[in-house]
Chain A
Amino acid sequence: MPNISRDEVAHLARLARLAVTEDELDTFAGQLDVILQSVARVGEVAAEDIPPTSHAVPLTNVFREDLVRPGLTQQQALAGAPAAEDGRFRVPRILGEEA
């Protein structure tokens, strides 16, 4: 039976950069637990010979030819950006991490 801890919720929140209060940790842990338990019930009936479903439509090999299609201009691309500078998206400084 899944049983998600407050610590795990806090860890997930950190990975998603969500600020979660102490009270919310309890609330979400409970809610996520319900979801995980529901999924676990599906797992109980899944037989070995049934692969997990990742795609609802039984399609494979859908490709695009390698042909250039017009995209956005720089102005269009930056139109929705909260901040831009020198033709680039401007983002707040990134702390404690490096790509």
Chain B
Amino acid sequence: MTAATVLDYDEVIERFDPVLGLEVHVELNTHTKMFCGCPTTFGAEPNTQVCPTCLGLPGSLPVVNRVAVESAMRIGLALNCEIAPWCRFARKNYFYPDMPKNFQTSQYDEPIAFNGSLDVTLEDGTVVTVAIERAHMEEDTGKSLHVGGATGRIHGADHSLLDYNRAGVPLIEIVTKPIEGMGERAPEVARAYVSTLRDLLRALDVSDVRMDQGSLRCDANVSLMSKGATEFGTRTETKNVNSLRSVERAVRYEMTRQAAILVEGGSILQETRHFQEATGTTSAGRRKETSEDYRYFPEPDLVPIAPPAEWVEQLRATLPEMPSERRKRIQADWQLTDLELRDLVNAGAVDLVAATVDAGASPAEARAWWVSYLSQEANSRGLELAALPITPPQVARVSALVAEGKLTNKLAREVIDGVLAGEGEPDEVVEKRGLAVVSDDSALYAAIDEALAAQPDVADKIRGGKVAAAGAIVGAVMKTTKGQADAKRVRELILERCT
């Protein structure tokens, strides 16, 4: 970027309307690849999950994975799409070593699902309906490792190394129609869309949707048009956006970058750009080949897919409760206000709290732990809530220990801290840190007698009926027991002792 002008975000919004197009690639969690029986496990030794078909060796023939097609249709149905009664795969021809066949098997003008929509709720509760253009089936590419360059990137690299374990893993590409009229909220809408889609895909159990491992990836198309214009501007496609936060940052950065060029009378190049996590900026990638350059044609080695209506209806019947409906139900079941529900959703805590309740905690207790205490912990560690090293059953166990009177709230927080620190299960942390409430009455009597003896004047007051004076003795006992006694119980025992 060479433009000298830098506009602040408000100026960008004053002068331009952003238009977004989001392409999300999701790797399916099938056991095998799209067109062959190779496993799809993440992180295997390079080139150990390959066969003649996914290596594109002569004489090999692809056969479609039934479960992958079913997952594609379920995704389409969950996005309110129509399912194509008949569609084909196509070859997308391009010359790049990430596909050993020199083409990617994809779908071109006949996607299996099309014309859908997804309702996206923003943080303040505003609902935006995003129109879905299509969801089509394709295969993932291999992984390139560029050697010899300064940063592992292609520029300056000496040669590249290819691992084809990922080549052929089933991939569904979900493409939105242009998202217009969002103004300053465009970056937020982009993030919320990907987040909502991720929740939906997780509920469908079709993918492990790990953005950090690349099983969910977002390419953000961004263009600007001057206020009042009717034609879209030239768009760029930003890749390498590996987290929800990055989606928002990348869109915002591209809007600002493009605006700075446009106000100086420059023009935007249609190109792919790469998001740089460290700087929050994008850098130029390759000039986009036009669709014609890919020389798509129907894949002759795969027969068309013509899902009978009964099959589609069977799949529709397998759709789980959608996350949005589930939230409504949870709100009613747990009697939450709109604000409480929004806090729960914004903290990314719905599933965690529900699982904690399933494991035996009360909704109020479960919410308190995840939305208040653990959210802060996640924030300070820069992690998503679900990535904290503690599970819903562990939280439920701590909650149960409090309910049984074995832990006070203060001790419970220490137990949670211990679990987060990797000290083991809650009961082990209680044991190792010696955190259990002193519930042995004889130990408490001993501490009480000691305190009463040390403060005879207070003891006399209590005996004389001044119950409020017991506070001083409670304090002393809590000190002796290092806070590990239940103050209420101590009070009861003191009064019993003094009557």
- State the A residues within 8 Å of B (CB): 15-17, 54-55, 57, 59-69, 71-74, 77-78, 80, 85-94, 96-99
Contact = CB atoms under 8 A, between A and B. Distances in A.
B152 interface: no
Contacts of B94: 15
B34 to A, nearest CB: 10
Q: Which 4 A-B pairs have the closest CB atoms?
A: A69-B37, A71-B51, A88-B161, A54-B298
B159 A93 contact: yes
A54 B302 CA distance: 10
Contact of A74 (B46, B54, B63, B286): B46
B305 A61 contact: yes
Most chain A Cβ neighbours within 10 Å, of B46, B57, B100, B272: B46
Contacts of A80: 57
A90 B148 CA distance: 13
Nearest to A62: B303
Contacts of A94: 96-97, 144, 154, 157, 160
Nearest to A83: B159
A55 B302 CA distance: 9
Contact of A89 (B36, B164, B289, B304): B164
What does DSSP make chain B's interface, helix, strand, loop or mixed? loop
B162 A66 contact: no
A52 B306 CA distance: 17
A78 B47 CA distance: 8
Given A60-B304, A91-B162, A77 B98 contact: no
B363 interface: no
A62 B63 contact: yes
10 contacts: A54-B88, A57-B303, A60-B86, A61-B307, A63-B64, A71-B36, A77-B50, A86-B46, A91-B162, A97-B96
Interface in B65-84: 65-69
B95 interface: yes
A54 B141 contact: no
A54 B300 contact: yes
A92 to B, nearest CB: 6
A67 B97 contact: no
Most chain B Cβ neighbours within 10 Å, of A60, A64, A85, A90: A64
A61 B49 CA distance: 26
A89 B162 contact: yes
A54 to B, nearest CB: 4
B46 A88 contact: yes
A85 B39 CA distance: 23
A74 B45 contact: yes
B161 A60 contact: no
Given A89-B162, A91-B97, A93-B158, 15 more contacts: A15-B93, A55-B298, A60-B86, A60-B305, A63-B63, A63-B65, A63-B69, A64-B65, A77-B50, A77-B55, A88-B47, A90-B162, A97-B96, A97-B154, A99-B144
Contacts of A57: 303
Nearest to A11: B293
A66 B66 contact: yes
